[in-house]
Amino acid sequence: MTTATKYIAHQADAQGYIDYSEHENQLWQQLYQRQVTNMPGRACPAYLQGLDALAMSVDRIPQLPEIDKVLLDATGWKTAAVPALISFGRFFELLANKEFPVATFIRTKEEFDYLQEPDIFHEIFGHCPLLTNPSFAHFSHMYGQLGLAATKEQRVFLTRLYWFTIEFGLVQAKDEPLQIYGGGILSSPGETMYALSDKPERRPFDLLDVLRTPYRIDIMQPIYYVIENIDYLDEIARMDIMSMVAQAQQLGLFAPKFEPKTKAG
C-alpha cells in the first residue's frame, strides 16, 4: 500500500475544497457517464439507493464536504482526503474512526479501464454509496478496529477479507439475480461485465476460505465470494474473525487460480 505511484494527490483548502482542472472534471464526467449506465440490474439495491442519496455531480468531481454531509446524516461516516497510497496502519486507523480514505487524484485516460491504485472515482463512485447503508458501514468500522489491533502477520490475512467483500464482493438473494456490491467492481466497466459473466468462479461466502484465498491486484479476479444479502455483513461482523485468522495462518493458503506475476526485466 506504500509502493511508488505516478499520481500526485491534490491538497484541499481550509474548507476542504479542491480546485480541479477542467480536464480532470471532464475525465470524471466520462467515467461517470460510462459506468452509471451499467449499474441498473447489476449493482445491488443498497448501492443504487446510496448513489441516489449522494446525488453526486455528473459533470465535475464531487467535493468531499458534499459527500460528507450525506454520509454523516446516514451512518456517521465521513471521508478523509489522503495521498495516492497510505500505510496499512493509517488505513485501519481511518476506518476505525469512521473515516473513509479518498485519494484526491483522478486516473489518466490511458488507465480508464483499470487502475491498480484507488483514485477518487474508485473511492467516491465505487464505495461511498454503500457507506450510506448501515450494515456496510458497520462492517467497515468493525474491520478497521480489528485491523488496528492486529499484528502485521494478521493484517495480511485480514486484507483478504476486505478484498473479497468491500472490494470484490457479490450478492445473490434466493431466486434473485447475481449482483455487485464490491467497489472495485462497481468502479470498473470491464470487471462489472466480467464478474457477472460465466468466466470467473463464484463461491458461497465462507470466512475461513476467504482468508485462505490468494489474489492479485492487477488482473480480473478468477474467484468471487457471494453473500446472500447486504445485511449478511452484520453476521460476518459478529463472527470470531481473529480466531479464523489464526486457523487460516495454521492451514496456509489455497493454491492460486492464476499465474504468478512475472517481474519486468
Give the per-residue SS3 of 207-248: HHHHHCCCCCCCCCCCEEEEECCCCHHHHHHHCCHHHHHHHH
138 is in an annotated binding site: no
What are the helix (H) ranges across 41-127?
45-54, 64-75, 88-96, 120-121
CA 207 to CA 242: how far, in whole Å?
11
Bridge pairing between strands 201-204 and 179-180: unpaired
6 with 14: CB under 8 angstroms? no
**CA-based torsion, 125, 214, 5, 151: positive or negative:** positive
259 is in an annotated binding site: no
Residue 75's closest CA among 151, 131, 8?
Answer: 131
Q: What are phi and psi of 68, to 5 degrees?
A: -60, -40
What does the DSSP assignment read for 109-161? Answer: GGGSS--SS--HHIIIIIIGGGGGSHHHHHHHHHHHHHHHHS-HHHHHHHHHH
127 is in an annotated binding site: yes
What does the DSSP assignment read for 170-191? Answer: EE--TTS--EE--HHHHT-HHH
Residues belonging to the binding site for Fe cation are 122, 127, 167
Residues belonging to the binding site are 122, 127, 167
